[in-house]
Amino acid sequence: MTMTLCLQLAAVAQLAIAALNFALPQLLRWQTDLARLPLLMREVFHVHAWFISVTLAIFGVMTLRFAGEMAAATNPACLWLAGAIGIFWAIRSVLQVAYYSASHWRGRPGRTAMHIALLATYGGLTLVYSLAALRKAS
The answer to whether residue 96 is domain-embedded is yes
Report the distance separating Cα 12 and Cα 127, nearest Å. Answer: 15
Residue 138 is assigned to a structural domain of this protein: no
Indicate whether 37 belongs to any domain.
Answer: yes
What residues make up the domain containing 119? 3-133
Provide the pLDDT for residue 90.
Answer: 98
Q: Give whole-number Cα distances, 80 to 10, 34, 87, 104, in Å.
A: 16, 38, 10, 35
Q: Which is nearest to 59 in space by CA: 104, 122, 103, 109?
A: 122
Q: What type of residue is 43? A: E
- pTM (global) more than 0.75: yes
In the chain, the amino acid numbered 76 is: P
Q: Length of the chain in residues, anyone? A: 138
pLDDT for 9 equals 98
Task: List per-residue pLDDT tens for the chain, 138 residues long.
Answer: 799 999 999 999 999 999 999 888 898 889 999 999 999 999 999 999 999 999 999 999 999 999 999 999 999 999 999 999 999 999 999 999 999 899 988 999 988 998 999 999 999 999 999 999 998 765
How many structural domains is the chain composed of?
A: 1
